Structure 1
Amino acid sequence: MRHSVLLPAAALFSQAFAQFNQLAVAKGLTYFGTATENGELSDTQYTAILDNSTEFGQLTPANAQKWDSTEPSQGVFTFTKGDVVPARAKANGQLLRCHTLVWYSQLPSWVSAGTWTNATLTEVMKNHITKVMTQYKGQCYAWDVVNEAFNEDGTYRESIGPEYIPIAFQTASEVDPDAKLYYNDFNIESSGAKSTAALNVVKDLKAKSIRIDGVGMQAHFIVGSTPSLSAQTTNLDSFTAQGVEVAYTELDIRHSSVPASAAQLATQADDYANTVSACLAVTGCIGITIWDFTDKYSWVPSAFSGAGEALPYNEDFSKKPAYAAIVKVLGGAATGAATKVVDAAVPTSVVSSTAVPVISANSTVLSSTAAASTKDSCKSKAATTLSTAVSQVTSAVAVPTTTPSTNSTTPATGTVAKYYQCGGTGYTGSTSCVAGTTCTVQNEFYSQCL
């Protein structure tokens, strides 16, 4: 059960202008954070918000630590891009979530188009994990060790089997014993085949005495279709019951069509409040990361045709009803329906007279047995707060074991399967997608068949 912490008098300013991280820490979370991209850091209006550790106490590099950026040629490592966000987080006194070591996508062509045996691929993967984690050892609160290993029906992605997941986690555990080790995926935020598959990863690793510390719920939601508060809390409980922490790692809630109406903005606010409330209600849910904070830099419009406006800040950095809804849930005192918040700066002297506490990378966040026994009452309290506050792996790399000509996921020629990579910096495979999908740019590093 979480216990409210009274803010110092200097921090008792209007709830509408309170900062996410400051309030989240006061509510017992470890952080409230955001992802960011290197290319956005020249925008001074953007960085003024990003660098404010009372707003965001944690940063995630969205792309620059992925395989194609860190090992573009076999055995040749470069961290020029990957070092940028970690350095910024350190300068700002923010936690760093590192992302990601092993994933089927955003691979350099030498990996995706290579011909591998289990033995050779295992050594390549272990070497990659070792070199990248060594570079950032002591800097990362957590690593997303394996990312998105499962199809929607809970089966392993093509060319992926379970044998590489234990190897990846064991290697990561040996390289950095202090960083939290996470499995990270989308559409595992409520019960279903995919969530069960992720839960089985936890159970399997635990049974093998291989360390796994957390599960990341990406939470790329759609307005009006976000899982309910009860569905999310029940699901989070199923993971924490296995002795791991959980976090929302890539939260955004997109409108299916834009511009959104006032009613749609209110629904989005409710959806954000549900998810934040779910994390507050579950001991062992340690933090929330939104996948960037402003629509100006959201990945959604390029990935989902016609969709957008997924984040709490508008493109002009004004705040949406969703921003107010999050503040109300975290603050626990405001009442009434979510309304648009006027974009106004808070004087530094008013924001806080107390520094945000530093959380060590290996701090314990799971409750004692006595505290866990009160979880149901915490859920009830969170639901009441919500209704008051708002109106409602394998190598997790899908690396082929056949020659490029027979690989259906990232072929040099032919067509690319739905959801797989079809372009981006350093990509040399086919850009032709299967019928019914198009090669859609998500960012400079990654295009996907959607």
Structure 2
Amino acid sequence: MTDLHAQVPSGPRRSRRFTTPIAVLATIAAFATPILLTAEPAAAAGPLRAAAAAKSRFIGYAAANSPLANEAAYRSIATTEFSQVTAENAMKWDGTENVDNAFTYANGDAIVASAAANNQVVHGHTLVWHSQTPGWVQGLSATAMRAAMQDHISNVVGHWANNPVVQSWDVVNEVFDENGGMRTSFWYNTLGQSFVADAFRYARAADPDAKLCINDYNVEGINAKSTAMYNLVSSLKSQGVPIDCVGFQTHLAVQYGFPSQMQQNLQRFADLGVTVRITELDVRIELPADSNEIAAQNTYYGNVVKACLAVTACTGVTIWGFTDKYSWIPDTFPGQGQGLIYDTNYSPKSAYTAVLDAFGGAPADTTPPSTPGTPTASGVTSSSATLSWSASTDNVGVTGYDILRAPGTSGGTFAVVGSSTTTSFTNTGLSPSTSYRYQVRAKDAAGNLSATSSAVTVTTSAGTGDTTPPSTPSGLAASGTTSSSTTLTWTASTDNVGVTGYDILRAPGTSGGTFAVVGSSTTTSFTNTGLSASTSYRYQVQAKDAAGNVSTASSAVTVTTTSGGGGGGCSATGTVQSTWNNGYVIQPLTVTNTGTSTITSWTVTFTLPAGHTLTGSWNATFTVSGQIVTAKSISWNGTLAPGASTSFGFQASRPSGDTSVPSGYTCTTP
């Protein structure tokens, strides 16, 4: 199994930090002499990104701003070896909004600009986490905290929403404890589990195109924690929450063994309809490292890549840094280190070769495509222009084109504004009566980039079309409100040309917070689902027309959902997942709505055999009286439509030689 660890405040480099297990502390205490780094075998040539691209995967690294800006050796490796970038700290809450409503994006923008210039994509990290979140957030009331979360996500995701380089986000990070229960963070203690779904909805409203992920550690193999993650993702998907991917951090240590059934674990998540990715890979060694530890480290790196390659839905692997010079490991685990694929002098190690070989070795193709022809513009309007160009050629094959844009007729900096797999591209969202310059570059599967084409200048028209917004919708009212949904209706707007639809906006609580779009409708009604029980929300509606004009928002209506509970019956069936001499795991313990109406909570009761003791549980709230165990639904898995199911589980100890397990599960609803 991998080590059990929990985050603690960051050190001087503001990298991710973990506390050290007691067993590891005992090992560290045994060292009485200085720890020396051990030289490792030289590595084969890359680049890694070409090998990964040949397998339709990305290979990424976590970027630190200072060396990226100031060290040529670091920058050279970072921009040539990797196709994906995760900001190590620049996009976290304390890096973007350390003071309430004072947003700073310079460090994040620098990483995005570097990625854009080097044909890389960016994964945003992280929006909602219990660590590196300023103290001003942690002490807020429930209403104010939810509003702060929405404001933060709307601003941070919105800042990069129109930048094609930023393609995905870790929306929530590390929400489980080691037993598979919800981590008792200030988020959970104040808001309950509903903060997870709300964070995803806020992120989707801020960027409809980004891939939205949940991320955690010690979930690489099949265990209680990964099963809790699996059940949460399944539940979120069933509720229509916009979750697209699952991140497996994969901080490994050779002394704890490789995660059990990693490939099978990735696949079971993929079967839920999400993509999966390795997000923070490193493999630490107890120092001084010997040849056996280095060989094990190389095997681990190779195994992780091979597990990803074996699962079609695994999009790639990100290493948490790449050089031991800037690794978080030695500061957090004294006596351990050498966890990355480059040493402190920026020389590739044998772990580099292990990653390269697992991807199939370096492709032979190092030839860039030819330069595309100068683009020409057509169909220029006040807000868009269509570009076309003559195709590039390549010794293997062109896979697409990047479109770069600079402001004005001279000066400024070209930045990627889109990509195309054809020889045309329409750039929308431009300003009227404004000049822009465009270039195009080609790319191939090995990551080779052509030179940029000559530039074409485009000036948009003055925009003399429809500029009249629709009238403000009126009469907004709510009906049919339950513990998890409400239906809104309103009086239609009018427009000089015609209304094309309505946006529905929602804010948390009865006051404060920020309204964000949660849906749209082409009629004058909308049902908002996935709400939390006994919670207040405010809604507004605004109309829009074909020209993109938007009305002012309607007056707000406040809706308070009902408490949990509901009609219907339920059943419970337990499955023995595993047993050993003095214990067992029951997973899944499946709850099914056997009634004809939706239930909004359930209670399962069972009896532990004499001498058996509950030692762990997940996805339900457990109470024990003698040998009688009562498990109640939690916020996200209590609502079940007729015929629908959810699951939870537990672990128990028993006397040695006793082979009995619980039975006779009963399920009731309020």
Same fold per superposition (TM over 0.5): yes
Which runs of 5 or more residues in structure 1 are unaligned?
1-14, 335-348, 364-450
Match of 1:46 in 2: 74
Name the SS of the counterpart of 2:296 in structure 1: helix
| Partners of 1:358 and 1:253 in 2: CA distance | 35
Distance apart, 1:233 and its partner CA: 0.4
Q: Compute the displacement of 1:103 (Å).
A: 0.4
Unaligned runs of 5+ in 2: 1-42, 370-393, 403-417, 421-670
Offset of 1:156 from its aligned partner?
1.2
Are residues 1:34 and 2:61 paired?
yes
Matches within 5 A, 1:20-169: 20-29=48-57, 31-41=58-68, 42-52=70-80, 55-112=81-138, 114-116=139-141, 118-137=142-161, 138=163, 139-158=165-184, 159=186, 160=188, 161-169=192-200
Partner SS state of residue 256, structure 2 = coil
Match of 1:369 in 2: none
1:362–1:209 Cα change, 3 Å: farther
- Residue in 1 aligned with 2:269? 239
Name the SS of the counterpart of 1:310 in structure 2: coil
Structure 2: which amino acid aligns with 1:79?
Answer: Y
Secondary structure at 1:280 match in 2: helix
C-alpha separation between the residues in 1 aligned to 2:212 and 2:140? 29
Question: 1:265 maps to what in 2?
Answer: 294
Query: How far apart, CA to CA, are the structure 1 residues paired with 2:245 and 2:106?
Result: 28
CA 1:217–1:226 in 2, change beyond 3 Å: closer, same or farther? farther
Residue from 308, 317, 324 that aligns with 2:337: 308
Whole-angstrom distance in 1 between the partners of 2:237 and 2:419:
18
Cα distance per residue 1:375-408 (max 9 Å; x no partner): xxxxxxxxxxxxxxxxxxxxxxxxxxxxxxxxxx
Q: Name the one with the larger strand percent.
A: 2
What is the TM-score with the length of structure 2 in the denominator?
Answer: 0.47
- 1:308-347 map, 5 Å: 308-331=337-360
Alpha-carbon contact 1:153-1:193 (below 8 Å) kept: yes
Query: How many angstroms does 1:226 deviate by?
Result: 4.4
- Matching residue's letter, 1:134: G
1:318-352 deviations in Å (ceiling 9; x for gaps):
12111111111112699xxxxxxxxxxxxxx9744
Q: 1:358 to 1:246 in 2, by over 3 A?
A: farther
Pair 1:227-2:255 in alignment: no
Tell me, yes or no, if the aligned pair for 1:189 and 1:227 is still in contact at 8 Å. Answer: no
Deviation at 1:39, TM superposition (A): 1.5
Name the count of aligned residue pairs.
328
Shift of 1:258: 1.6
Matches within 5 A, 1:372-383: none
Give 4+ residue runs of structure 1 displaced > 4 Å after superposition.
354-363
Residue 280 of structure 1 deviates from its aligned partner by: 0.5
Matched, 1:294 2:323: yes
Instruction: Assess, with a 3 A threshold, how the Cα gap between structure 1 residues 40 and 236 changes in structure 2: closer, same or farther.
Output: same
**Residue aligning to 1:340:** none
Q: 1:37 to 1:275 in 2, by over 3 A?
A: same
Distance, in Å, in 2 between the alignment partners of 1:277 and 1:37 is 27
Counterparts of residues 210-225 of structure 1 (less than 5 Å):
210-225=241-256
Larger Cα-atom Rg: 2
**Alignment root-mean-square deviation, CA:** 2.4
**Distance of 1:226 and 1:294 partners within structure 2:** 23
Q: Is the 8 A contact 1:224 1:271 kept in 2?
A: no
Letter in 1 for 2:76: A
Deviation at 1:115, TM superposition (A): 3.4
Q: Match of 1:443?
A: none
SS in 1 for 2:347: coil
3-state SS of 1:96 partner:
strand
Higher RCO (CA-CA < 8 Å; seq separation 6+)? 1
Counterpart of 2:127 in 1: which secondary structure? strand
Asked if 1 retains the 8 angstrom alpha-carbon contact of 2:171 and 2:213, the reply is yes
Measure how far apart 1:207 and its partner are: 1.3
Following the alignment from structure 1 to structure 2, what is the Cα–Cα distance between the partners of residues 183 and 359? 30
SS of structure 2 residue aligned to 1:211: coil
Q: Secondary structure at the match of 2:298?
A: helix
Equivalent residue for 2:497? none
Evaluate the alpha carbon distance shift between residue 358 and residue 220 of structure 1 in structure 2; reply closer, same or farther with a 3 A threshold. farther
1:176–1:226 distance in 2 versus 1, CA, 3 Å? farther
Aligned twin of 1:386: none
The residue that corresponds to 2:505 in the other structure is: none
The answer to whether the 8 Å contact 2:154/2:202 transfers is yes
- Is residue 221–residue 262 contact of structure 2 (8 Å, CA) maintained in 1? yes
SS of 1:249 mapped into structure 2: strand
Residue identity in the other structure for 2:281: L
* Contact 1:248–1:289 (8 Å) recurs in 2: yes
Q: Distance in 2 between matches of 1:178 and 1:333?
A: 32
Contact 1:224–1:267 (CA under 8 A) maintained in structure 2: no
Alpha carbons 2:283, 2:297 under 8 Å: kept: yes
Partner Cα separation in structure 1 for residue 211 and residue 315 of structure 2? 12
- 1:439 maps to which residue? none
**For the structure 1 residues 76 and 268, does the alpha-carbon distance in structure 2 shift closer, same or farther, using more than 3 Å as the test?**
same
Distance in 1, matches of 2:367 and 2:351, equals 23
- Counterpart of 1:353? 368
For 2:150, the aligned partner's letter is: K
The Cα shift of 1:36 comes to 1.1
CA distance in 2, matches of 1:172, 1:126: 8
How far apart in 1 are the matches of 2:361 and 2:59? Answer: 16
Q: State the alpha-carbon separation in 2 of the partners of residues 176 and 359 from structure 1.
A: 23
Structure 1 residues 358 and 128 mapped into 2: Cα distance closer, same or farther (>3 Å)?
farther
Q: Which amino acid is 1:254 matched to?
A: R
- The 2-side partners of 1:155 and 1:82 are apart by 33
Identity of aligned residues (%): 42
Determine if contact 1:224/1:268 at 8 Å carries over to the other structure: no
Match for 1:129: what amino acid?
I
Contact 2:302 2:358 (8 Å CA) reproduced: yes
Task: Report Cα offsets for 1:389-436 as digits up to 9, x if no partner.
Answer: xxxxxxxxxxxxxxxxxxxxxxxxxxxxxxxxxxxxxxxxxxxxxxxx
Please state how far the C-alpha of 1:150 moved relative to its aligned partner. 0.9
Say if 1:144 and 1:182, in contact at 8 Å, map to a contact too: yes
Structure 1 residues 319 and 191, CA, compared in 2 at 3 Å: closer, same or farther? same
Correspondence 1:395-406 to 2 at 5 A: none
Look up the equivalent residue of 2:101 and give its one-letter code: G
